[in-house]
């Protein structure tokens, strides 16, 4: 019998073997036990099927989706098979802390909301040393989602996202996107349910040497996404996105011709303030390699 808060965990995976077993174990170790853990491989993988079978866990289901080279398609495939009335996403190289699910429902209960998209804080490690938390600060309830994502606190990580299954049914992840499918889903899903962010650290992300929190560059792709979704953003959120994300990507790509567009966009979003214009200038003055070196040095 499915109870009121039955949870299906969906783990999309490709190639990673040791990491996905670690992720599965972290889902199984929850103090609030999920109904099922659905592991969806992007294409066939006999070795992974064997390793998961050796866990001998009846609640773990291994599915082989048609090969798509697309994480959104793999997630959507698993979500469609889910039996729970809540869906919790977990990437195959991340780790949930044991009270992850319980902490999120505690945050939901404190919010007074019957249902919501529930996120939380992840701890980020580089070379097994603590680097930072994301988000670095929890904004007040009711803060627009775009300001949480793009307001300088570091955003929200996919492996902390949980929502009612009906929300994923109404808003499947966009399989046409090469990037930003998590932002895109959050922007659309929170048009029908609020966002609640647990203050607890509920997830760990371990970066490999040379790996960052996001892929650098890709200005043209990100600008195209922005034009598609900017009507869902507040003026303040748009300004932070243009100054803090698009300008950084343009600088990384060496797209000097994008600078006039960036500053015209910010000008039309007045009043953004001098601070926003200075934010847009920063990546052109201080290269991303220097900023990354400073962050990693401080983490040592």
Closest CA to 66 of 44, 84, 82: 44
**pLDDT for residue 4:** 80
pLDDT at residue 18 in the model: 95
In contact, 232 and 188? CB cutoff 8 Å: yes
pLDDT of residue 129 exceeding 90: no
Same domain, 195 and 233: no
- HSE toward the beta carbon, residue 274, CA cutoff 13 A: 0
* Residue 125 maps to a domain: yes
Instruction: Give domain status of residue 36, yes or no.
Output: yes
User: Residue 61 — very low, low, confident or very high, per pLDDT cuts 50/70/90?
Assistant: very high
* The total number of structural domains that make up the chain: 2
The pLDDT score that the predictor gives to residue 273 is: 81
Tokens 């939380």, residue located: 120
Percent share of the chain, pLDDT over 90: 78
Residue 245 structural domain: 219-299
pLDDT at residue 1 tops 50: no
Q: With 60 as the cut, is the pLDDT of residue 290 above it?
A: no
- 95 with 224, same domain? no
Residue 7: pLDDT band (50, 70, 90) is very high
Residue 217: its pLDDT value, please? 83
One domain, residues 200 and 109: yes
- Does the pLDDT at position 161 exceed 90? yes
The pLDDT tens digits for 79-124 are 999 999 999 999 999 999 999 999 999 999 999 999 999 999 999 9
Q: Are residues 203 and 225 in the same domain?
A: no
As a whole number, the mean pLDDT across the chain is 91
pLDDT, tens digit, for every residue of 178-236?
Answer: 889 999 999 999 999 999 999 999 999 988 776 666 777 899 999 999 999 999 999 99
Burial status of residue 202 (CB atoms within 10 A of its CB: 0-12, 13-18, 19 or more): buried
Same domain, 174 and 74: yes
Which three-class secondary structure string do you get for the chain? CCCCCCEEEEEEECCCCHHHHHHHHHHHCCCCCCCEEEEEEECCCHHHHHHHHCCCCCCEEEEEECCCCCHHHHHHHHHHHCCCCEEEECCCCEEECCCHHHHHHHHHHHHCCCCCEEEEEEEEEECCEEEEEECCCCCCCCCCHHHHHHCCCCCCCHHHCEEEHHHHHHCCCCCCCCCCHHHHHHHHHCCCCCEEEEEEEEEEEEECCCCCCCCCCCHHHHHHHHHHHHHHCCHHHHHHHHHHHHHHHHHHHCCHHHHHHHHHHHHHCCCCCHHHHHHHHHHHHCCHHHHHHHHHHHHC
106 and 250, same structural domain? no
Say if residue 198 is in the same domain as residue 253.
no
**Is residue 213 one of the residues assigned to a domain?**
no
pLDDT above 80 (res 289)? no
**pLDDT for residue 37 is more than 50:** yes
Question: Is residue 212 in a domain?
Answer: no
Report the distance separating Cα 6 and Cα 117, nearest Å: 15
User: Would you state the pLDDT for residue 300?
Assistant: 52
| pLDDT confidence bin for 299, thresholds 50/70/90 | very low
| Same structural domain, 32 and 71 | yes
Residues for the chain: how many in total?
Answer: 300
pTM of this prediction?
A: 0.91
156 and 233 within one domain? no
The model's pLDDT over 221-240, given as tens digits with 9 standing for 90+, comes to 999 999 999 999 999 999 99
User: Has residue 248 been placed in a domain?
Assistant: yes
pLDDT of 256? 94
| pLDDT attached to residue 27 | 98
One domain for residues 195 and 249: no
The confidence score (pLDDT) of residue 12 equals: 97
Q: Do 46 and 182 have their domain in common?
A: yes
The confidence score (pLDDT) of residue 216 equals 79
Cα–Cα distance list, 102 to 7, 33, 154, 183 (Å) = 11, 9, 23, 24
Instruction: Calculate mean pLDDT across residues 254-272.
Output: 90
**Looking at 187, 207, 227, which one is the last position of a domain?**
207
| pLDDT (average), residues 1-5 | 63
Mean pLDDT of 9-33: 97
Q: 143, 178, 207 — which closes off a domain?
A: 207
Residue found by looking up tokens 């934010």 in the block: 279
Within a domain: residue 214?
Answer: no
* 11 vs 27: CA distance, rounded Å: 10
* Residue 276 and residue 173 share a domain: no
pLDDT (tens digit per residue) in 139-157: 888 889 999 999 888 899 9
Sign for the pseudo-dihedral over CA of 82, 69, 185, 144: positive
């Amino acid at each position: 019998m499915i109870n009121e808060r039955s949870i299906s965990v969906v783990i999309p995976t490709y190639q990673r073997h040791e990491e996905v077993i670690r992720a599965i174990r972290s889902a199984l170790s929850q103090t609030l036990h999920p109904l099922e853990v659905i592991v969806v491989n992007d294409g066939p993988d006999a070795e992974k099927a064997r390793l998961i079978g050796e866990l001998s866990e009846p609640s773990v289901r291994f599915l082989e989706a048609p090969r798509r080279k697309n994480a959104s398609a793999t997630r959507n495939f698993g979500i469609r098979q889910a039996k729970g009335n809540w869906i919790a996403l977990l990437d195959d190289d991340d780790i949930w802390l044991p009270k992850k699910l319980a902490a999120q429902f505690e945050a939901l209960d404190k919010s007074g909301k019957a249902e919501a998209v529930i996120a939380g804080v992840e701890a980020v490690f580089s070379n097994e040393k603590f680097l930072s938390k994301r988000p670095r600060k929890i904004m007040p309830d009711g803060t627009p989602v775009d300001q949480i994502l793009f307001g300088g606190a570091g955003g929200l990580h996919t492996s902390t996202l949980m929502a009612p299954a009906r929300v994923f049914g109404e808003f499947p992840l966009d399989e046409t996107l090469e990037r930003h499918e998590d932002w895109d889903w959050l922007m659309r899903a929170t048009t029908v349910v609020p966002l609640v962010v647990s203050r607890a650290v509920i997830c760990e992300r371990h970066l490999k040497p040379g790996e960052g929190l996001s892929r650098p560059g890709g200005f043209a792709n990100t600008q195209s996404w922005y034009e598609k979704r900017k009507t869902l953003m507040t003026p303040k959120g748009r300004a932070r996105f243009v100054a803090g994300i698009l300008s950084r990507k343009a600088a990384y790509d060496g797209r000097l011709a994008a600078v006039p567009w960036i500053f015209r966009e910010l000008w039309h979003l007045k009043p953004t303030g001098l601070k926003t214009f200075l934010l847009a200038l920063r990546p052109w003055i201080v290269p991303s390699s220097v900023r990354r070196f400073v962050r990693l040095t401080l983490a040592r």
